Structure 1
Amino acid sequence: MLLHHAGGTLVAKTTLQDVAREAGVSLATVDRVLNGRTGVHVRTIERVQAAIERLNYQPDRLASRLARGRDYRFEIVLPTGANEFMRMLEAEFRSTADRYVQERVRLAVTHVDVFDGEALAAALERLPADIDGVAVVALDHPAVSEAVNGIVERGVPVVTLVSDLPGTKRAHFVGIDNYAAGRTAATLLGRFLGHRSGKVGLIAGSLSLRDHIERQYGFEQVIAREYPDLMLLPLREGRDDDAQVHDVGRALLAEHGDLVGIYNVGAGTPGIVAALEESGRAREIVFIAHELTPFNRRHLVRGTIDAILNQDPGHMARSAARTLLALREAVPIVPGQERIRIDIFVRDNVP
């Protein structure tokens, strides 16, 4: 037990050796329990945790990292492609990584085609065996779920980003309530349209992405209940690709002269903007999109986009890093701090 000064008074500070002695186990066993590693009997874990509570042990986490002899290594798995929001999220992770170097934590970014379940699963399975945590934009695919569970079973915490996999052993989800986002989009579109009737188009990246499914479900529920004069068209997929989404948007406009609204569930908004402006109907069709990217911001101000639902990529990157570190060091996650809000922007309040 060490002594340190607190307001001029010497105060006893509990050490790992004290915990090991109290629990009747080795120092290595205490370290395994604190770091969530496998291979420790459940009763031993309970004994160590009880000793920690009795002694009110507060670990010096930076000192513990120094004692490990190497930094924590977290892998961030993001989509390939030109998705502007994902590029913003990557930039925020790189900025977060710069700040965490002094904390003995390193973040590395890996790019994968997240629309290809087999490719994403293979990339997860190829991650180094000695990593300390993974954050991944996940596809709802059996092979991806199996890969995530395999990583967790090795004692490595996994958090999902943007799109969740709640049926897996992942530890935490970093993202907005996507069901609520879809409901909010429907309310905004219905209010903007007032008493107009007509058809509404939905465009998603993929219905294998849970965030897109949840947004679609929330949107459809509110439109069906609150706005019976609006007819929802079957959802069309564009893989969050600007060119593909442009083709989808152009087809919607050509096929439905009575189209009054569009909700883009995912990315690819530049494609819809181009289709609307080419048609000359941009001012008569209410368009709700996601994410306040530089492009979306510009066209929100111009009036082609009527409202944007946003999730802050900086908050998400910092939250994912804090959460992985908390999971790795077995300290509580602060729910209020890690809750990602749904921001609503119109042209009058855009930052």
Structure 2
Amino acid sequence: MRTTVTQIARAAGVSPATVDRVLNNRDGVRARTRDIVMQTATQLGYFGPVADTATARMRMDFVLPAGSNSFIRALRKHLLDEATARPDVAVNVHDIEGFDPERLSARLRDLRGKTDAVGVVALDHPQVREEINALAQSGAKIGTLVSDIPTVDKVGYVGVDNRAAGRVAGLLLGRFLPPAGRQRIAVFMGSLAYRGHEEREMGFRAILSEDFPELEVVGLAEVSDDRDRAYHETLRFLDSGNIAGIYNIGSGNQGIARALRERQMERRVVFIGHDLTDATRLMLLDRTMDAVIDQNPRVEAREILRLLTSSVRGAREPEYLPRLQVVFKENIPTS
């Protein structure tokens, strides 16, 4: 049975109308999207039978943090979904409990000689960097995902510009808060061991210093993406003084929201966070959150698979930085 336009659209992450325009060589499609559609159509056999991949099927492993982080759970799902549309790739996902460089390093060590490529959401830790480099030297192609580590031996990074994301958060807080003299801001993060979280904090503090010096960061809570810890830290901040704004760099939004509602502060404290999930969607709708800085896990899953697959085959694709999107109550995507 011939591959359909709908199947190609689903695998490429675009609409059937876009696929139709590409296959019929019509205008109105960006060059990168056109390349993605054509590669997907070829892999799915739209232009004719593809070669038997039984002996050429590559193994690809992804190492992700375990836990309640809704964005990472969505990323995991999209990685597996994308893999089902690629007969040339066998994907395995490994979940690492906790922000633990020992466990992460051990899992990377176990993959030596057993895989063609590894995508990793990694802590920027000396031991982890050494294991990534050793894994690359064993022949595996490495791609960093969501949070980059610039100094390791890798083929590329797929994720947003986290420093820019932090600057956007600072701009939103600065513009949302009324000019009322010095105001106190609380900052939450998952772990300083994630370079992406560190870069968001740097960007956030930089724009406050440049454009909003009246906003004072009075505390930084490292909560390991644990919503219960985020809840208790929020109560501590709220009970210690007048908090005007909260910026959550990582996960744990539900814990912060719970504390704000208990103290009946959800309409008085400006709350900015990351990643549009089922939970943050509801927080935007009831105005507990004021804005969400979103990145698309489906796009990131598709692009890391493309980056690593091309690298294993000897090709080279540029790193891909997905666009940031700021979501408010008024522009929540319908799906």
TM-score by structure 2 length? 0.82
Say yes or no: does 1:105 pair with 2:89.
yes
Asked if residue 288 in structure 1 is aligned to residue 282 in structure 2, the reply is no
Q: Tell me the CA shift for residue 142 of structure 1.
A: 0.9
Give the C-alpha shift of residue 164 in structure 1. 1.1
Alignment of 1:283-322 (within 5 A): 283-322=267-306
Residue aligning to 1:38 = none
Query: What are the equivalent positions in structure 2 for 1:23-102 lying under 5 Å apart?
Result: 66=52, 69-101=55-87
1:34 counterpart residue number:
none
What one-letter code is carried by the residue in structure 2 that aligns with 1:342? L
Deviation at 1:339, TM superposition (A): 2.6
Question: CA shift at 1:106, angstroms?
Answer: 1.2
CA–CA separation in structure 1 for the residues paired with 2:110 and 2:310 = 24
Q: Deviations over 1:250-308 (max 9, x none)?
A: 1111112x210000000010000001001111101000000000000111111000000
Higher-Rg member (1/2):
1
Kept after mapping to 1: 8 A contact 2:155/2:308: no
* Structure 1: tracts of 5 or more residues without a match: 1-59
Worse overlay, 61-70 or 115-124 = 61-70
1:41 is matched with: none
Counterparts of 1:145-294 in structure 2, within 5 Å, are 145-196=129-180, 197-256=182-241, 258-294=242-278
Tell me, yes or no, if the aligned pair for 2:156 and 2:318 is still in contact at 8 Å: no
Q: In structure 2, which of residues 305, 314, 324 is the aligned counterpart of residue 330 of structure 1?
A: 314
Query: By how many angstroms is 1:329 displaced?
Result: 1.1
Runs of 5+ unmatched residues, structure 2: 1-41
Q: Distance in 1 between matches of 2:52 and 2:219?
A: 56
Greater CA drift, 205-214 or 124-133: 124-133
- Equivalent-residue separation in structure 2 for 1:123 and 1:165 (angstroms): 17
Alignment size in residue pairs: 287
Aligned-partner SS, 2:236: helix
Instruction: Give the structure 2 partner of residue 121 of structure 1.
Output: 105
Provide the C-alpha distance between the structure 1 equivalents of 2:160 and 2:98, rounded to a whole number of angstroms.
Answer: 19
Give the aligned partner of residue 126 of structure 2: 142
On the 8 A contact 1:297/1:350 being kept in 2, the answer is: yes
Aligned partners of 2:199 and 2:63: how far apart in 1?
22
Aligned equivalent of 1:52: none
Q: CA separation of 1:65/1:210 partners in 2, compared to 1, >3 Å: closer, same or farther?
A: farther
CA contact (8 A) 2:189 2:220 kept: yes
Does residue 308 of structure 2 align to residue 348 of structure 1?
no
- Structure 1 residues 274, 261: CA separation in 2 closer, same or farther (over 3 Å shift)? same
Question: For the Cα contact (< 8 Å) 2:112–2:138, is it kept in 1?
Answer: no
CA separation in 2, counterparts of 1:236 and 1:208?
A: 14
Q: Secondary structure at the match of 1:109?
A: strand
Contact 1:65 1:71 survives alignment (8 Å):
no
Contact 2:144–2:154 (Cα < 8 Å) also in 1: yes
Aligned-pair RMSD on alpha carbons?
A: 1.8
